[in-house]
Amino acid sequence: MKWTLQESPDNDTIVQLAKALNVDMTIALLLVQRGVTTFDQARSFFRPSIEELHDPFLMKDMDMAVRRIEKAISSNENILVYGDYDVDGTTSVALMSSYLKTRSSQIATYIPDRYAEGYGVSYAGIEYAHDNDITLIVALDCGIKAIEKVAYAKSKGIDFIICDHHRPGDSIPDAAAVLDPKREDCAYPYKELCGCGVGFKLIQALAIGTGQTISDLFPYLDLVATAIGADIVPITGENRILAHYGLQVINSSPRIGFKAMLSEVKKEMLTITDLVFIIAPRINAAGRMKHGLHAVNLLTEQNLEIALQYASEIEAYNSDRKDADKSITEEALDQISKNQEKDRLTTVVYKEDWHKGVIGIVASRLTETYYRPTLVFTKSGDILAASARSVKGFDVYNALNACSEHIEQFGGHKYAAGLTLKEENYLLFKQKFEEVVSESIDKELLTPEITINTSLELAQITPKFYRILRQFAPFGPGNMAPVFMTEELQDTGYAKCVGADEKHLKCKVKKKEIVIGAIGFNLGTKYNLITDQKYFKAAYTIDENVWNGETSLQLKLKDLI
């Protein structure tokens, strides 16, 4: 790994902020690095205000979306809430359908089958709507590129309202309204909402028309916070506010479905990281292994007994997902090794019987291993489907766009995308993708980088320092947990490798008589670096360790040299 020490901002600004807030220089430095330079900005950062959410009607087409939904409700039209099968899509459908059901009894939900229909708006979904006399589809977390499908629905007398956050193509679907802050003609001030976030803005706009206040919508924010964490959108601006209040809801009065999923989790306060690693994989497992509607049913269930049964089923799907993920990752690594493809700048692998539901996870695992733009393909009906993942700083969406001559369909983000292509085009695509990446990527991006905020001495790690640091949360892209570096550390002699296959490193480190515990996940191979009183330096974040009822601060090691 390459260690990069973040450039220190202007020292006068740090000194002034430290005085204004009565905090030490390190805290002030971390704030200035995040663009927080004044007392008022710090107050907004540490105390996010729901009042600072933008007016939803600043979003292009919002007035048209509200008018069309109000017309549908007043005319007793059947409305279909349609969303993708991942966390962002299923939480969006749960949010929108449960809100609309407070206004109308004519609400149905639809999640496409991952295997029979694939990603996004499907013809099967439109036929379902037509067969059930549905005249309005509200599509969430998908639809921005569904030009032919929206036109087909229109020919059947079905209107679309699209709530998406993916990048549009060259043209916009001819829908009743298209809500997407990434539209070039949309002046909405915050561009990084997830699909569930766009859905929330729509119910916020609808609520204004009925005289409801933002506090009436608080119960929906647990869904929004989960989608923000799972979809890896920046936790800045509105996303930070929505995540902050969503976590409050989850920790004080979670919906029944969350209670059921968390019934076995012994944790007093959930963080955004817990949403990403505990809640999100379970919600995702339904769509990966069975059907996304199972997740929607759990998230909207009002009866705890029934919800516990749903949660138990989803737990089983998640267990199956883990098994498939492990075996396919091993097969993919074996394929790369046998084909001697380690010298390529891309990783592209394919096997026709790999489970389509986990190829995205496998792509992430391979990216962690080889650290290069990665695609994992499997067979899906008559075509091949793939999940793409990228490395920090490289736009895989643009790379796929440059290979579009070989692709049937693609969509996604800078760091994660999906695509389909004909089997006969697989090798042509694989070669073209390697060429595009080789010509456009900065080779330095192929070495994983740890960005270190600042150096720190162990003596500075106090309970008070950590209490302030915790208030920087929720952490995520755009507001990552601060990473520190300390030099001239020594192990106290108790270092050991722990966990399955002894992959993790547990130790206590010392410097100038200060001793603190440390854990390094997947750093078992670094054990010999710290034995026999050798000096080393560590890059780490700080968190709490709870053991036998005792709570202590510890270093969460990211790397050692």
What structural domains does the chain harbor? 2-47+450-560 (2.40.50.460), 56-312 (3.90.1640.30), 339-446 (3.10.310.30)
Q: CA-to-CA distance for 377 and 3, rounded, in angstroms?
A: 33
Q: Mapping DSSP to helix (H, G, I), strand (E, B) and coil, where does residue 180 land? A: coil
Residue matched to tokens 């792509």: 363
User: Is the Cβ–Cβ distance between 300 and 94 less than 8 Å?
Assistant: yes
Strand segments (E) across 278-413: 347-350, 374-380, 383-389, 409-412
What are the backbone angles phi and psi of residue 489, rounded to the nearest 5°?
A: -90, 155
Residue 129 is predicted with a pLDDT of 98
Residue 267 is predicted with a pLDDT of 78
> How is the beta sheet containing 409-412 ordered, strand by strand?
347-350, 374-380, 383-389, 416-422, 409-412
Residue 342 is predicted with a pLDDT of 66
Residue 337 is predicted with a pLDDT of 87
β pairing state of 484-491 and 536-547: antiparallel
What are the backbone angles phi and psi of residue 222, rounded to the nearest 5°?
A: -65, -35
β pairing state of 536-547 and 550-560: antiparallel
- Number of other residues whose CB lies within 10 A of the CB of residue 349: 25
Compute the residue count for the chain: 561
Q: Write down the pTM of the prediction.
A: 0.90
User: Is the Cβ–Cβ distance between 374 and 363 less than 8 Å?
Assistant: yes
Q: What is the DSSP letter of 251?
A: H
What are the backbone angles phi and psi of residue 112, rounded to the nearest 5°?
A: -65, 145
Residue 266 is predicted with a pLDDT of 76
- Number of other residues whose CB lies within 10 A of the CB of residue 216: 14
Residue matched to tokens 């990966």: 288
pLDDT tens for the 561 residues of the chain, in order: 899 999 888 899 999 999 999 999 999 999 999 999 999 999 999 999 999 999 999 999 999 999 999 999 999 999 999 999 999 999 999 999 999 999 999 999 999 998 888 889 999 999 999 999 999 999 999 999 999 999 999 999 999 999 999 989 899 999 999 999 999 999 999 999 999 999 999 999 999 999 999 999 999 999 999 999 998 899 999 999 999 999 999 999 999 999 999 987 877 789 999 999 999 999 999 988 889 999 999 999 999 999 999 999 999 999 999 999 999 999 999 999 888 766 789 999 999 999 998 999 999 999 999 999 999 999 988 999 999 999 999 999 999 999 999 999 898 888 889 999 999 999 999 999 999 999 999 999 999 999 999 999 999 999 999 999 999 999 998 899 999 999 999 999 999 999 988 999 999 999 999 999 999 999 999 999 999 999 999 999 999 988 887 889 999 999 999
Q: Where are the alpha helices (DSSP H) in 75-220?
A: 87-100, 123-131, 147-155, 195-209
